[in-house]
Structure 1
């Protein structure tokens, strides 16, 4: 089964998980979403502007990406949780590709430092127009605060994806 891992990562946690998943499953590619206008990534402005953008359900313009979604059987979405919801770049990707995404096998994971991961994953399913995901996982700062427990959790998701 050909898999595409689509993710947005600001601090590196989501990218860290994407690379682990890619290494752990067969025939997987990654697509990192990059907004044309970068979000502030330090200090208080990071939370104010990112949170506002997420809560307002903004859809930022993305850097050009070239991917033929028809060649993938499964899409795995990875994103950090901002203000209890999905990040705007993921929202843009879903809006731009909604019809083809509905016909795929869909999985998702969220990275966060606080809370809101379950609700964010539910909001992503609703945005895609599906009832739920085949597999999901929520990670608490897997790169920034590594541990054997977190590595085991990532490996558990990989095992589920390989079934």
Structure 2
């Protein structure tokens, strides 16, 4: 099964996990980059990122190359902003017809909670379920055996669903 990981990363946590999953599954990677960068520090980071997420914005992205017909499984990776997924994923979803594809998702967050993050992403994709879901707390900053095990289990589940 041909797999791609489509993700956005602001502070490197999501990128860190995307690289690990790609290595484990031999998957392609597509890192989304908005044309107008989000602030990465202080209050403005939370204000502008949170506002953009809550308002359902879809920022213009830097050019990227993607053809859904080349993939069977699309894994989305996102930081959690205001309880939902990062806006660059919304743009990607709006720009691409992925009908008939299988999906999985992982999210990196700074605290507990945010149980609606995957539901909101499923709603944006108009699907009922993901093949697998993975949520991690600051995986780059808080590297642990537990997180490594969760990543391996996520990948094993995807292999079983092939």
TM-score band, normalised by shorter chain: over 0.9
Q: CA shift at 1:118, angstroms?
A: 2.8
**Under a length normalisation based on structure 2, what TM-score does the superposition of the two structures give?**
0.95
Q: Partner of 1:10 in structure 2? A: 10
Q: CA shift at 1:68, angstroms?
A: 1.5
Q: CA shift at 1:23, angstroms?
A: 0.5
Segments of 4+ in structure 1 off by > 3 A?
none
SS class of match (1:101): coil
Contact 1:2 1:73 in 2 (8 A): yes
Provide the C-alpha distance between the structure 2 equivalents of 1:161 and 1:82, rounded to a whole number of angstroms: 25
Distance 1:116 1:93, change over 3 A: farther
RMSD, matched Cα: 1.0
Q: Verify: 1:22 aligned to 2:19, yes or no.
A: no
* Consecutive unaligned residues in structure 2, runs of 5 or more: none
**Under a length normalisation based on structure 1, what TM-score does the superposition of the two structures give?**
0.95
Q: Partner of 1:85 in structure 2? A: 84
